[in-house]
Structure 1
């Protein structure tokens, strides 16, 4: 019989053969315990300075360096390959973005942060049918700020998980709404111009939550704007969920509002790793404050999302954070 960790059953079963338990109706023994069906589950604050998850010790990491195009070159008909060498680390990956009209390289986005870098790696661009493009790396001085039960990221201090953006996935985050919206803030996901794509939930400077999904390599995304609680209430915490299946995107916010739409998500052969805040490039670099981030490797149903919301409310309540 498979055990269910951290959960309490109201009875004992001497012989479990033939008995099936509905795990959606089993409540947590301790409200602060993790979502055991998730790939990873992070709670933030001074008690978790290394951003380790509650299930498997997976770590969220900011990109150790930033990348900038120093010359766009010309004649590129496809994005050149990006090679990162040196710097004392390993595992980092990036993708170039081109302007299909001018044939120049316009940007480079980080796909995976890697680890162990003590100095900027050398950036080499090859292929793509063009020439002359160059780029450079600089160590990333931006740093997240830890608070009482939360983390704030801004600029390029966004945190990337070990998990790639995908087409069967659920992302959940708990975000503090700003009193005055400013720059666009990414709550969760991964987003980049062509050819990577991705899916994100973000809060724009007009005060609206928007969920975006790239449906082809070169589109601007199938956008979905949702109504959030008033932003004039200080310290209002909002629970957000976004699921993707091969043909559907579902969002839930505030624990009750729910919307599901037909969207065929483009998944790049070189996807980025999902996270919170701006973690791939220079766009959408507003500050975001997050108390919880959860990644599932499958799309949750509305009933399952409602269950997670209730458990999040209990978990975070013990940490002094009251959900809307």
Structure 2
């Protein structure tokens, strides 16, 4: 009898491992907002979708080959940071003082380890710095000049602040010196080993002042991953995502109320967040590979794919 039970348990373990070996999912976003089709030309929309699909293909290739979700989300985020279309890295918006200040975070759902940076001005890829903070320091978040010093010690690429200048972002600052523009890039993934990861990177708000930091680098607000539930990356009005710990709240509803990913996200994004006056969206992947992309705005740049054949790239 004991041998039979042992064989059955072994079969269950092998079956679970086989499921993991076949199952992967990934979702990315490039920011959310109350945008409409008439705000873009066909050529502009095609360009956004082309870049989103290129970023997505990087993550898919890593996951298909058995690579880690951490590698997938970092490399996808790096690509989007290097693309001037999005408000992160090269395409970061300008502060009130005419500077670029970058934030980023990454989280490992297997260990709950996380790394984040805020107010960085001269590191080419803040998401890679966030990963170094997670893996090569005893801390979770570094900011400003200290984060840059750590980046140099870790051999990351340092650039002159002029690298982040793009004409369109500068002109945007001139137009909206009394308004704010937000945007973020992010990636969540489940790998074939059953591990979840999340990454988020941003240039913050156009015209932000006084060293303002949003939700992107704050674990549990704009970025969260836990193998027991899901991985989440958020985009939108960061102050609300911080106050309502949006990313962790979705995970907590799944863990403590046994809600599905979609139900938990609906309750937070379309309920709690919207009722409080917070606008934005999330991308998320749960431990079974289910994907959720949800926003309470009219649009969110997003793309997704899975081993089950699901694939898409949408804006509105």
Same fold flag (TM > 0.5): no
Task: Indicate the structure with greater helix content.
Answer: 2
CA radius of gyration, larger in: 1
Task: Indicate the structure with greater strand content.
Answer: 1
Q: Which has the higher contact order (CA 8 A, sep 6+)?
A: 2
Provide TM-score, normalisation by structure 2: 0.30
